[in-house]
């Protein structure tokens, strides 16, 4: 059992060491970053060398190959955020920011390896609280304080909703284990529980109408924190939502088809998806700050993911999982570019990207790859993710209404992605730009761009891992027709 939680324990130990380092040697930024990265690599090695499958502590810790892939991805995203954090201006409390990133990563990893309501809540809080603090980390910026406060307040309220919902589910079904819950009988109180739980998770995924925190947090928080929020917490949130809905609440899915409405969580998700896709894409059209634009695009992508879930078919699940990983890698890379540009030009408004192609051609090319992947243009991973998602969602032909909306809004989204690229490639720079940004972040950004391209040309590398048959059964979702 100890080896089951070995990666997380290693990360916690690393975080404590980094904290100790921060107290004893406050100026040692590079050493703290190196130690954090080393700890991360050790944890990854532990994940790969000890591939444990099984059910521990009555479902509190559940490991299977897919969960391990997600833990690996989350670990990578956490380390990427740590590298971007070293890019920042923050001189004081730098080691604490690294420790918080590591603790948040631990929370996300725990979230992907559980089947118990209590553990879900615990891990969710362990993920969120470091992120709240990280969002407010830049003490010199009012926007950062606003971001942290909004994130904390709205996050706490939704955590309260979530806890209430989970407790209602426990009250009705008599157990906190997801598999035991799936065997329970229906009950009106259960509906209330499910709705409240969905509200809590919708906050994590930034779905309408729980998306108000996202633009301010993405814009105000230090870019590394925003990167972790955008990529890591979305991956973990979607994974556990998938697990909850399929393994636990599969019986009460209902149907969201046009003219085939059945009450359940699927119609709720479908409506949230439609609203998110519409609001996210349309509001992004008028943004002038790239980080805010990425926030609205995150809302839209949350909508696409919820679309996949709302079709309530077992075939769509691998597509959702594939897409969230691809999206997380792309967004992390996009935020990395933004971090470097912020250092170069002093801000992240559209005009700060002018002339990027001339001053840093490789960086501009990476930006092109990330944004075109987000827009869903081949041959990049974002396109295949969306394609796979829509194809499998249409296994339920009555979902056509939502897919039409999604494809239409996806075409619209190309406009605002192209606007950013226009500033980078077409418009000349205002004033002199000296290329900045540490080699480490540039290497990470380039590696992410390469990963996005590779996954677009050979998606089987990831897809083959995700569609392997899983020891833990996925209950009761309709398969095929």
Partner 1 sequence: MTNDYLLLTIFLAIAIVFPLIPLAMAWAWARLFSPAKPGKDKQSSYECGIESTGPAQVQFQSHYYLYALVFLVFDVETVFLMPFAAAFLKLPISAFLALMVFLLLLMEGLVWAWAKGILAWK
Partner 2 sequence: MILTATFLSAFAGAGLILLLPERSAALARWIALLAALAGLGFATVAFLDFDSAGPHFQFLTNIPWIPQLGISFSTGADGISLVMLVLTGLIAVTGVLFSWNVTRRPRAFFAFFLTIIGGVYGVFQSFDLFLLFVFYEIVIIPKYFLIAAWGSTNREYGAMKLTMYSVAGSALVLLVMVAAYAASGAHSFDLFTLADPSKSHFAPGFQTWAFPVMFLGFAVLAGIWPLHTWAPTGHVAAPTAVSMLLAGVVMKLGSYSALRVAMTLFPAGLDQWRLPIAVLAVAGIVLGALVALAQKDLKFTVGYSSIAHMGFVLLGLMTLNLAGLGGSVLQIFSHGIIGGLLFAVVGRMIYDRTHTRDIAELGSMNLTKALPFAAFTFTVASVASMGLPGFSGFIAEFTILKGSWTSLPWLLIPASIGVVITVAFTLRALQRTFFPFGEASAPAHALDPITLSEKLGAVILMAATLAVGLFPSVLLDPILRSFQSPLMHQLLK
Nearest CB to partner 2, comparing residues 202 and 402: 402
Give one DSSP letter per residue of 87-154, joined into a string: TS---TTHHHHHHHHHHHHHHHHHHTT--BHHHHHHHHHHHHHHHHHHHT--TT-HHHHHHHHHHHHH
Nearest CB to partner 1, comparing residues 2 and 185: 2
Please say whether the beta carbons of 13 and 39 come within 8 A: yes
Nearest CB to partner 1, comparing residues 12 and 184: 12
Q: Which does 19 bind (CB under 5 to 8 A by kind): partner 2, partner 1, none?
A: partner 1
Q: Which does 23 bind (CB under 5 to 8 A by kind): partner 1, partner 2, none?
A: partner 1
Nearest CB to partner 1, comparing residues 99 and 421: 99
Q: How far is the CB of 93 from partner 1 (least distance, A)?
A: 8
Q: Residues 6 or more apart from 75 whose CB is under 8 A from it?
A: 7, 11, 40, 43, 44, 47, 105, 109
Q: How far is the CB of 471 from partner 2 (least distance, A)?
A: 20
CA distance 416 to 361: 21
Which residue, 196, 399, 414, is CA-closest to 307? 399
Q: How far is the CB of 124 from partner 1 (least distance, A)?
A: 19
CA distance 36 to 99: 8
- b or e along 220-233 (b: 16 or more beta carbons within 10 Å of the residue's beta carbon)? bbbbbbbbbbbbbb
Q: Which does 16 bind (CB under 5 to 8 A by kind): partner 2, partner 1, none?
A: partner 1
- Provide the 10 A C-beta neighbour count for residue 328: 26
Q: How far is the CB of 426 from partner 2 (least distance, A)?
A: 5
Nearest CB to partner 2, comparing residues 27 and 397: 397
What are the residues binding partner 1 (CB under 8 A)? 16, 19-20, 23-24
Task: Give Cα 467 to chain centroid, integer Å.
Answer: 20
Q: Which does 426 bind (CB under 5 to 8 A by kind): partner 1, partner 2, none?
A: partner 2
Q: Which does 410 bind (CB under 5 to 8 A by kind): partner 1, partner 2, none?
A: partner 2
Nearest CB to partner 1, comparing residues 103 and 210: 103
Q: How far is the CB of 141 from partner 1 (least distance, A)?
A: 19
Q: How far is the CB of 455 from partner 2 (least distance, A)?
A: 11
Q: Which does 408 bind (CB under 5 to 8 A by kind): partner 1, partner 2, none?
A: partner 2
Q: How far is the CB of 317 from partner 2 (least distance, A)?
A: 12
Q: How far is the CB of 312 from partner 2 (least distance, A)?
A: 15
Q: Which does 418 bind (CB under 5 to 8 A by kind): partner 2, partner 1, none?
A: partner 2
Which residue, 466, 344, 375, 455, is CA-closest to 68? 466
- b or e along 396-423 (b: 16 or more beta carbons within 10 Å of the residue's beta carbon)? beebeebbebbeebbebbbebbebbbeb
What are the residues binding partner 2 (CB under 8 A)? 318, 357, 365, 368, 372, 377-379, 383-384, 387-388, 390-391, 394-395, 397, 400, 403-404, 407-408, 410-411, 414-415, 418, 421-422, 425-426, 459-460, 463, 467
Please say whether the beta carbons of 303 and 277 come within 8 A: yes
């Amino acid at each position: 059992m100890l080896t089951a939680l070995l990666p997380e324990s290693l990360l916690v130990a690393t975080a404590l060491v980094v904290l100790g380092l921060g107290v004893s040697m406050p100026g040692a930024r590079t050493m703290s970053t190196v130690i954090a990265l080393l700890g991360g690599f050790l944890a990854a090695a532990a994940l790969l060398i000890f591939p444990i499958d099984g059910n521990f502590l009555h479902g509190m810790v559940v490991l299977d190959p897919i969960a391990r892939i997600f833990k690996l991805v989350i670990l990578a995203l956490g380390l990427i955020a740590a590298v971007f954090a070293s890019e920042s201006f923050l001189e004081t409390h730098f080691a604490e920011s690294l420790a918080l990133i590591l603790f948040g990563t631990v929370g996300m990893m725990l979230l992907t390896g559980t089947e118990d309501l209590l553990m879900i809540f615990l891990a969710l809080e362990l993920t969120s609280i470091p992120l709240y603090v990280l969002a407010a980390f830049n003490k010199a910026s009012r926007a950062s304080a606003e971001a942290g406060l909004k994130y904390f307040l709205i996050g706490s309220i939704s955590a309260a909703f979530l806890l209430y919902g989970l407790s209602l589910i426990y009250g009705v079904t008599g157990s906190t284990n997801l598999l035991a819950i799936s065997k329970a009988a229906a009950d009106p109180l259960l509906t209330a529980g499910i709705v409240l739980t969905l509200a809590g998770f919708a906050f994590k995924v930034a779905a309408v109408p729980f998306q108000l925190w996202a633009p301010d947090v993405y814009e105000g928080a230090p870019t590394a924190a925003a990167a972790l929020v955008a990529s890591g917490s979305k991956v973990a949130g979607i994974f556990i939502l998938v697990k909850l809905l399929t393994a636990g609440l599969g019986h009460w899915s209902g149907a969201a088809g046009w003219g085939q409405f059945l009450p359940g969580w699927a119609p709720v998700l479908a409506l949230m998806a439609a609203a998110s896709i519409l609001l996210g894409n349309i509001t992004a059209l008028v943004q002038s700050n790239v980080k805010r634009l990425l926030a609205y695009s995150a809302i839209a992508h949350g909508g696409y993911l919820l679309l996949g879930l709302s079709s309530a078919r077992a075939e769509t699940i691998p597509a959702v999982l594939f897409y969230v990983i691809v999206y997380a890698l792309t967004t992390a890379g996009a935020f990395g570019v933004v971090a470097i540009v912020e250092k170069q030009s002093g801000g992240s408004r559209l005009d700060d990207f002018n002339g990027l192609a001339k001053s840093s051609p490789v960086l501009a090319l990476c930006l092109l790859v990330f944004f075109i992947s987000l827009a869903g243009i081949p041959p990049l991973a974002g396109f295949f993710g969306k394609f796979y998602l829509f194809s499998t969602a249409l296994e339920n032909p009555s979902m056509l209404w939502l897919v039409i909306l999604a494809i239409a809004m996806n075409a619209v989204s190309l406009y605002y992605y192209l606007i950013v690229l226009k500033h980078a490639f077409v418009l000349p720079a205002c004033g002199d730009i000296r290329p900045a940004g540490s080699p480490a972040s540039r290497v990470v950004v380039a590696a992410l761009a390469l990963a996005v391209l590779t996954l677009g040309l050979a998606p089987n590398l990831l897809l083959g891992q995700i569609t392997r048959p899983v020891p833990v059964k996925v209950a009761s979702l309709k398969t095929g027709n």
